Amino acid sequence: MPKGAITGYIDVAQVVLYAFWIFFAGLIFYLRREDKREGYPLESDRSDRITVQGFPAFPGSKSFPMADGSIRTVPSVKADRRDAPVAPLLGWPGSPMEPTGDPMKDGVGPASYADRDDVPEHAVDGAPVIVPLRALSDLSIVPIDADPRGMAIVGADGHSPGAVKDVWIDRAESLIRYLEVDVNTPAGPRTALVPMTMARVWPSSRTVKVRSITAEQFADVPALANQNQVTKREEDRIVGYYAGGTLYATPQRMGPLL
């Protein structure tokens, strides 16, 4: 037999090749199961008793100790909002949904938000990551950048509901995440957060323009439970509200472009 052959038909290289194929197939199977720890099982439109998970099935629960001492278990099966005010456009399963109420307030479509933990994002030192600048003594806005505090906030309709009161800083990234705005509403004055990514500062006119919502809609921006901190769930709701405004803020935005 040739050197390295085990029998007249099998040699060491062939055994190694087959072993690699088996290992690689097992690796793909393992990774495919592990990536189903988020988002699975899917729910069926036909019945609440039907779950869609495909092959392979999603793995059993695994618990991870978190830095704050809590335990996170995945996959975490959470039912969708069955009370969401939407209705299917057609009668077949998987049909697109159409809002039946105020989609920006109801949090549907582009205004949807994840059911995240209602606690602030914490840094390695245990303190909240995103806090107002007034609570930080070691950070400030450099003179070469425009300071939006005191500037008028302007909505998509060109009207101003109020002015910027403060900026909220991401301590981990050292950048502005939100603008805190004093808003005048029919129910009285209130504060609202504006995602910095949805705003544009115009130093020449001393204005901050937000194109996603109108001046009147600032009154319905999701409020904070604590005026000096924002939770993960509140962040998702706030960002979802402004994102929903890009489609739902005015009737003209919901119509076809052509």
Which structural domains are found in the chain, ordered by start? 118-254 (3.90.50.10)
What pLDDT does 199 receive?
Answer: 94
CB 97 within 8 A of CB 85: no
How far apart CA 129 and CA 127 sit, in angstroms, is: 6
First CA to last CA distance, the chain: 76
Radius of gyration of the chain (CA): 26
How far apart CA 148 and CA 169 sit, in angstroms, is: 13
What pLDDT does 8 receive?
Answer: 66
**Which of the residues in the chain have pLDDT under 70?**
1-8, 45, 76-83, 255-258
User: pTM of the prediction?
Assistant: 0.78
What pLDDT does 50 receive?
Answer: 72
